A and B are shown apart, each in its own frame.
Chain A
Amino acid sequence: MGKTLFDKVWDSHVVNTIENGPQILYIDKHLIHEVTSPQAFNELEDRGIPILRPDQIVATADHNTPTQDQDQPIKDELSRKQLAQLSENCKKNNITLYELGHQYNGIVHVMAPELGVTQPGMTMVCGDSHTSTHGAFGAIAFGIGTSQVAQVFASQCLLLKKPKSLRVTVNGNLNYGVLPKDVILYIISKLGTNSGTGYFCEYAGNVFEEMSMEGRMTVCNMSIEMGARGGMIAPDQTTFDYVEGREFAPKGDAFDEKVAYWKTLPTDADAQFDKEYHFDAQDIEPMVTYGTNPGMGIKISEYIPEVSDASFEKSLKYMNFKKGESLINKPINFVFIGSCTNSRIEDFRVAANYIKGKKKADNVTAWLVPGSKQVEAQIIQEGLKTVFEDAGFELRQPGCSACLAMNDDKIPQGEYCVSTSNRNFEGRQGQGSRTILASPLVAAATAVEGKIIDIAKQLASASSALIN
Chain B
Amino acid sequence: MEKFTTLQSRAIPLHIENVDTDQIIPARFLKATDRKGFGDNVFRDWRYHKDGTINHDFVLNDPKFTGSILVAGDNFGCGSSREHAAWAITDFGFKVVVSSFFADIFKGNALNNGLLPIQVTETFLETLLTQIEKHPETIIEVNLENQTIEAKDLGLSSHFEIDPYKKTCLINGYDDIDYLVNNIKLIEAFESQKTY
Contact = CB atoms under 8 A, between A and B. Distances in A.
Contacts of A49: 177, 181
A15 B176 contact: no
Contact size range, A: 35 or more
B103 interface: yes
Nearest to A405: B27
A417 B176 CA distance: 41
B79 interface: yes
A431 B80 CA distance: 17
Given A81-B33, A147-B175, A227 B103 contact: yes
Given A151-B177, A293-B20, A425-B22, A20 B187 contact: no
Contact of B31 (A79, A143, A155, A432): A79
A311 interface: yes
A197 B22 contact: no
B32 A425 contact: no
A406 B33 contact: no
Interface in B123-165: 163-165
Interface stretch (A34-42, A208-216, A380-388): A34-42
Contacts of B28: 405-406
Contacts of A324: none
Interface residues of B, number: 54
B69 to A, nearest CB: 21
Interface string A431-445: 110000000000000
Contacts of A311: 16-18, 73
A453 interface: no
A290 to B, nearest CB: 15
Q: Which of A64, A227, A405, A427 has the most CB of B within 10 A?
A: A427
Contact of B22 (A43, A76, A154, A428): A428
A76, A81, A197 pick with most chain B CB within 10 angstroms: A197
Contacts of A161: 163
A262 to B, nearest CB: 10
Contacts of A150: 177
A226 to B, nearest CB: 10
A12 B196 contact: yes
A194 B103 contact: yes
A295 to B, nearest CB: 9
B54 interface: no
B103 A15 contact: no
Given A12-B196, A155-B183, A146 B17 contact: no
B27 A36 contact: no
A145 B75 contact: no
A70 B141 CA distance: 53
Please report whether the interface of chain A is mostly helix, strand, loop or mixed according to DSSP: loop
Contact of B109 (A24, A145, A314): A145
B105 A144 contact: yes
Interface string A138-160: 00000111111011001111110
A229 B103 CA distance: 9
Contact of A42 (B33, B105, B175): B33
B79 A425 contact: yes
Given A129-B79, A155-B181, A26 B190 contact: yes
A287 to B, nearest CB: 19
A266 B81 CA distance: 28
Contact of A147 (B32, B176, B181): B176
Given A129-B79, A406-B31, 18 more contacts: A12-B196, A15-B187, A35-B82, A36-B81, A39-B35, A52-B187, A76-B31, A82-B32, A144-B108, A145-B81, A145-B86, A146-B83, A156-B191, A158-B176, A224-B79, A292-B18, A405-B28, A427-B26
Interface of B: 15-18, 20, 22-23, 26-28, 30-35, 45, 50, 73, 75, 78-84, 86, 101, 103-105, 108-109, 112-113, 163-165, 175-177, 179-181, 183-184, 186-187, 190-191, 194-196
24 contacts: A12-B195, A20-B165, A21-B163, A22-B165, A26-B191, A36-B82, A39-B34, A49-B181, A82-B31, A82-B33, A121-B196, A128-B80, A145-B82, A145-B109, A151-B176, A157-B180, A161-B163, A198-B104, A224-B79, A311-B17, A425-B22, A425-B79, A426-B22, A426-B23
